Amino acid sequence: MCPLGDNGAGKSTLIKILSGFHPLSSGLIYLDGQETRFADPRDARSRGIATVHQEVGTIPRMNVGRNFFLGAELKKGKPPFRGLDTERCNSIALEQIRKFGITRVRDGDQLVGTLSGGERQVIAIGRAMYFGAKVLILDEPTSALGVKEASTVLRFINHAKNQGVGVVFITHNAHHAMSAGDYFVVLIQGQVAARFRRGEKSSVEVLSLMAGGEQIEDVVGEFAHLGKNDTASRPATQS
């Protein structure tokens, strides 16, 4: 599902409600067919709601394995001599991200700061899936990425869907949404402006809805008018 909208449409507030940060003021949340409410973000996470925010939750000066298991580190040995099982962390992290087509990373000790933005997004999303996410909420995962990196993330989203994970892909990029989404909701100032399924609207129509319906058409009309004026003001050339 793709909630779409321009800046200030209410997408970030929706994320906070779905991830347990804000309580509902109205409406209902259903998880696995049952009405539910989340006490706090920890409660939401424990029930399989994983959120990957726009500012990717990776630490550049930590390696791939440490980032993948951040907060849930694998240990080895017996108390009081238990320590971090670096080898297992690195091995599992590499195995998981390779499932999603990231082959450039060959060593779990590689610093995350040396990876591309798309690869960092894949680590964050892969981590959420590894720890049992039922619903994956992605906040503008392609907003700061180039074309190739955005394609990597979009392929990853489709892979997650095929694994049976529910994906909430929040974006203001209509083209990315149309590439990965099946069901769309357009938000304008916190209100639902439109609902539709894949194939029912073109990306141009979606952009128009996101902009409020008339603004895009007005701009196109202004450019057309300027073009006519420019043509009319050119001096005629003699042949």
pLDDT along the chain (239 residues), means of 10: 84 89 88 90 90 78 92 86 90 87 85 86 86 89 79 84 89 83 87 88 79 56 57 55
Q: Tell me whether strands 83-84 and 75-76 are parallel, antiparallel or unpaired.
A: antiparallel
Q: Please state the domain extents for the chain.
A: 2-229
- Identify how many contiguous H helices and E strands the chain contains and give both numbers: 9, 10
The Cα 147–Cα 160 span in angstroms is 20
pTM above 0.85, yes or no: no
Does the domain formed by 2-229 have CATH 1.10.3720.10?
A: no
| HSE (side-chain half, CA atoms, 13 Å) at 57 | 15
The Cα 36–Cα 48 span in angstroms is 13
Taking CA atoms, 126 is separated from 35, 107, 173, 220, in Å, by 27, 17, 22, 41
* pLDDT score of 239: 47
Closest CA to 150 of 128, 179, 109, 126: 179
